[in-house]
Structure 1
Amino acid sequence: MQTAYFGRRYLLSASHRLHSDALSDESNRATYGKCNNPHGHGHNYVVEVLVGGPVDSDTGMVINLATLDELVQTSVLKRFDHTNLNYDPLFVNQVPTTENLCRAVFKVLKSTLPSGRLEYVRIEETENNFFQCYGD
């Protein structure tokens, strides 16, 4: 059976401070540089989601766009948009790097996706930095 893919982009604004309690203050500054600012800093992230799977013969879709939008809105945007990621329970024991944010978004969406297979989540942090997390 042939696989088709549907991708969608979302905007998410959040702040974070890159700091590890396992490192000394000096090591944190050396590792994270200006991203270790005690007051944090923010990004306007672009979150890209790609779902793959067979095309439903009745709807002609891999996943309904409205269904995916609602899932991302309730599971990701309501949770992370306009927040400080350091205070989210997912990041209590890990540094809220964009790598870890990408992994967290992938995990949240994969566990709630009603149809299709979550192929990847891609997060653009800046015009030069992006991060991707793929499925199994």
Structure 2
Amino acid sequence: MQDEWRKSRQLNAASRLRAMQRERAQLAYNRSLRELAQAEHRLRVEQVRYDSIQAHHEASGCIGATLDPSQHEQRLLAQTAAFQRLEAAHQPVIEARSLSHSAMSQLLKCKVNEDLIDKAKDRLQVLLDKAAREYEAIDIFDAQQAQGMGHGR
């Protein structure tokens, strides 16, 4: 019975550890979701900026419109810079999605580990309850024997 109680204490300690690990994983996952939302917002802002530059260039570049070469160069430079900013805003989104996926995987792993510990604790509790009933039955039998009662009376 002492061995079962020792196992129970070990499982309780493991359960507390798994709960702490799950809480940390949950915090990391929540943080990664916030970072992903921020990165996606920055990407949307850059996409809107790029689209407005594109629309402006298309509107000013009507068929038959003559542009000064320096104006054309400025338009191309602005368009190129906007595209580079858009590309630069896209990379953090990719990284944030990857981080979020990793954090979610870690969180799920922690939840599974926590569930396994809980199942082991439940199984051990069943064994402890059974052992307690058996000890109680033995104590009742011993008490009956001490009172002089025969077996089965």
Q: TM-score range by the shorter chain?
A: under 0.3
TM-score with structure 2 length normalisation? 0.22
* Largest Rg, 1 or 2: 2
More relative contact order, 1 or 2 (CA 8 Å, 6+ apart): 2
Task: Give the number of the structure whose residues are more often helix, by fraction.
Answer: 2
Task: Give the number of the structure whose residues are more often strand, by fraction.
Answer: 1
